[in-house]
Structure 1
């Protein structure tokens, strides 16, 4: 295990009104330097070590389906690694999420490392909240590269203002979601936003209903990204509408019954 003395991330960052307004209009925002260089370098090592330790994908890239080629996905590292826990439950991230949503506090839904390998495939268009049995639209994902990345490495791409349409269609991440949601985007004239560069420690935030995707990684480096999903405190669990939502209810909400507060031991308050 790393012997690095990890910095605490409880010092918060003030987000200005313009940034908040842009987020609520577009459904996404990029914020520079959420972590400083030394902070992100420290956590990069422990997250990478944990991600590869707990990665269960053993197939070669060419043997996987579209979802499997999109990234290595290692979830809820905070449960199994005390060092990653310091990152995932950091007040700095939770405060930004709460300010953007306009709520007093947020709870954790889950974290996930998303490592897109060189040659890794595209991530199809999708809505995160399709998977979540929650009764609130105040949900948000933080997406933070742990290394400097360009568009060639598989930059997260958004359909701006698509969150205003809410739930669109019963579509999991797949080739089908790519085709049907790309058609929906074109029909509705959503503008496409894709940063050219993100530095390690920058972060984007997007609503649960914001349509997003990522191109293939045609670079020579692994796109190392850590994500954290938050939802507003006070949300309730809804009756699952799909097997995906039932799986999420059992795993990320610890089996809480529909109608109950979404406040299991797996959903700690952040602030």
Structure 2
């Protein structure tokens, strides 16, 4: 039986042209309230026992947001959001594929007073050969310019740039000055609770600082098309937990099918290999810049596959 589309052709066309789009009202008010409580609780539990320095004493990256990955493995209610079928179907429709897998989920909580998020592309951090990936950015209390709204460089996913920008340590390179996109102003987008912003893995994006007195609570879900392969040897738990070698299809229980889920199994079983990482990417050695395309400085390369 054919599944009814959740998106209009206009929304899909906007995403393909700009590399980002806001889909209104994908979640109900009741769902948003429930999932905000679930994700916030999971973040709090993940951070229990961690000695957190005052905001001003942290690294630039740690001042940008609290990051907790793979929260679906900690909490069944978070898993229900991560594997929410309307959200997953929207991602599949935007990528124009039949099925998508989960790369990982993550909470990104920009604390009150948190600094801006530096401009970057997501896909260069992941050893996926193909370039079709997409993030669902779900503001659980809505996002405003004041609270840390996301900004996107329109069309930047189409210029052939795949550049590693080290936003984790030190002061990152300003990717906005690259010739491919210089002069194209980021568009900052406020997203009300219940709506979801999607962006392509090659879309250059950034975020405003949070100048409010309330944390900007966001849950994100990263999807990639079923059938994608590992393209690079640099370590990442999403492929290493399943012992996926370079050139092999990424299809382990660490990256389960997100949409469509089998009937009667809305949430997949937990991966066989436990997650052995902390709550912040800055505390992990999962990215080795020297192993990334372009070497330690990141660099650029021309893409032959613009899927």
Shared fold, TM over 0.5 = yes
Q: Please list every run of 5 or more consecutive structure 1 residues that lacks an aligned counterpart in the other structure.
A: 1-10
Name the structure 2 match of 1:7. Answer: none
Which structure: greater helix fraction? 1
Which stretch shifts more, 79-88 or 102-111? 79-88
- For 2:139 and 2:76, locate their aligned partners in 1 and report how far apart those are by CA, in whole Å: 20
Matched, 1:267 2:260: no
Name the structure 2 match of 1:3. Answer: none
Question: Once the two structures are superposed, what CA deviation does each residue of 1:169-211 show, in whole Å capped at 9, x if it has no partner?
Answer: 332225643x42121279633232112x321121100110100
Could you say if the C-alpha distance between residues 75 and 236 of structure 1 is closer, same or farther in structure 2, counting changes exceeding 3 Å? same
Question: Once the two structures are superposed, what CA deviation does each residue of 1:72-119 show, in whole Å capped at 9, x if it has no partner?
Answer: 001100112112111111111110000000000000000000000111
Name the structure 1 match of 2:166. Answer: 172
Name the structure 2 match of 1:129. Answer: 123
Q: Judge conservation of contact 2:133–2:225 (CA < 8 Å) in 1.
A: yes
Which stretch shifts more, 255-264 or 18-27? 255-264
Matched, 1:48 2:40: yes
Name the structure 1 match of 2:137. Answer: 143
- For 1:39 and 1:118, locate their aligned partners in 2 and report how far apart those are by CA, in whole Å: 24
Which stretch shifts more, 61-70 or 181-190? 181-190
Residue 95 (structure 2) aligned to one of 81, 90, 101: 101
- For 2:142 and 2:218, locate their aligned partners in 1 and report how far apart those are by CA, in whole Å: 10
- For 2:51 and 2:81, locate their aligned partners in 1 and report how far apart those are by CA, in whole Å: 24
Residue 116 (structure 1) aligned to one of 110, 116, 124: 110
After TM superposition, the structure 1 = structure 2 runs for residues 192-231 of structure 1, keeping only pairs within 5 Å, are 192-195=186-189, 197-231=190-224
Q: Judge conservation of contact 2:230–2:239 (CA < 8 Å) in 1.
A: no
- For 1:225 and 1:124, locate their aligned partners in 2 and report how far apart those are by CA, in whole Å: 17
Aligned residues: 254
Question: Matched residue of 1:33: which SS?
Answer: coil
Name the structure 2 match of 1:18. Answer: 10
Name the structure 2 match of 1:246. Answer: 235
- For 2:83 and 2:181, locate their aligned partners in 1 and report how far apart those are by CA, in whole Å: 39
- For 2:115 and 2:203, locate their aligned partners in 1 and report how far apart those are by CA, in whole Å: 21
- For 1:187 and 1:150, locate their aligned partners in 2 and report how far apart those are by CA, in whole Å: 25
Q: Judge conservation of contact 1:132–1:248 (CA < 8 Å) in 2.
A: no
